[in-house]
Amino acid sequence: MEDILFYTSLPLIFILFTFKFFLQTKRHNHQNLPPSPPSLPIIGHLHLLKPPIMRDVFAYGGAANPADFLPILNWFGVNGYEKKVKALAKRESQPEYYTDQIIKGLIMVKTLVDEPDISKLPYLQSIISETLRLCPAAPMLVPHLSSDDCIIGGFDVPRDTMVLVNAWAVHRDPELWDEPESFKPERFNSGEDFSHKLIPFGMGRRACPGAGLAQRVVGLTLGSLIQCFDWNRVGEEMVDMTEGKGTTTPKAIPLEAMCKARPIVSKVLS
Ligand code: HEM
């Protein structure tokens, strides 16, 4: 008799246990919902992601479904998880809204860009290289002094002469660059060796020793800014790229831009 009671109670205990697990999962999911992103200036005409949908996508994406472990629960209608995911799928069906860009964003938003990712983002690197080509931070590099009599480009240069390298002109030389005045990051994807004509860090023994560090930090900063915010101009006019005076090519008119936090920012702030 005791045996019969024991064996008949086993499924009951198992179902109760599973139900408890289900309730815990439910509570856990609700507790872990990240807060909505803080409201930042909104750019009116940009099509923005809906934060509540994103919040639910991330919450359900990481949740365990009890019915996956015990399919019998589906017969009893204890499949709230599945219902929620199906309802979410209906809320998300806006084909005109889900452009390739948005879909790529949804896949990559999962985690914040980190230093090891930078080398795997060649187009980001190309954007940085093209920016340094057109706007080298030190357009005349740093003044050098010839340590001996020498000939540079056919010119006799006596010892102790100050030598300036016009990197700005080298970077826009039509003999060296195709469409030198155009901003074309893709030119760096050709596999060509640019080390002799792209010289924002100088070259040779006195080249910038911080080039590797600078490229990583700029890549990480730019990557994070693109990943975390939607950007736009403040008005209709294009950004004024006129160069101001100074050794480090400041912009004549400081850059002003509008940004709107993407949902991933809530992850950073929470
Ligand atoms: C985007 C960022 C940077 C740019 C565009 C840049 C550019 C340059 C340039 C053009 C030179 C002169 C090279 C020459 O005359 O041939 C230089 C020199 C130098 N840079 Fe940078 N640099 C950057 C970041 C850094 C960082 C992050 C560090 C240090 C951590 C650094 C340290 C130095 C030093 C010590 C020199 C003098 C090297 C020497 O005279 O032997 N730079 N840099």
pLDDT digits (tens, 9 = 90+) for 74-115: 777 666 777 777 777 777 666 666 666 666 655 558 578 898
Average pLDDT over residues 147-174: 96
The domain boundary residue, chosen from 66, 85, 108: 108
| Whether the predicted interface score ipTM is above 0.90 | yes
β-strand partners of 230: 260
Average pLDDT over residues 122-135: 96
Q: For residues 99 and 131, state if they share a domain.
A: no
**Interatomic CA distance for residues 176 and 126, integer angstroms:** 17
Q: How many domains does the chain have?
A: 2
**Interatomic CA distance for residues 204 and 198, integer angstroms:** 13
251 part of a folded domain? no
Q: For residues 89 and 119, state if they share a domain.
A: no
User: What is residue 122's predicted lDDT score, i.e. its pLDDT?
Assistant: 94
Instruction: Give me ligand 1 centre to Cα 246, in Å.
Output: 17
Highest mean pLDDT among 34-38, 204-208, 245-249, 266-270: 204-208
Ligand 1 mutation target, pool 201, 216, 218, most atoms within 8 A of CB: 201
Identify the residues whose C-beta falls under 6 Å from ligand 1: 137-138, 141-142, 200-202, 206-210, 213-214, 218
For the CA of 203, the closest atom of ligand 1 is 16
76 part of a folded domain? yes
Q: For residues 176 and 76, state if they share a domain.
A: no
Ligand 1 mutation target, pool 141, 144, 166, 208, most atoms within 8 A of CB: 208
**Known binding-site residue numbers for heme:** 208
CB of 215 within 8 A of CB of 206? no
Structural domain including 32 reads 2-108
**Interatomic CA distance for residues 184 and 182, integer angstroms:** 6
pLDDT tens-digit series, residues 188-246? 999 899 999 999 999 999 999 999 999 999 999 999 999 999 999 999 999 999 999 88
Find the distance separating the first CA and the last CA of the chain, reported in whole Å.
56
Other CB atoms within a 10 A radius of the CB of residue 138 amount to 17
Residue 149 pLDDT exceeds 70: yes
214 part of a folded domain? yes
User: What is residue 8's predicted lDDT score, i.e. its pLDDT?
Assistant: 42
Q: For residues 177 and 219, state if they share a domain.
A: yes
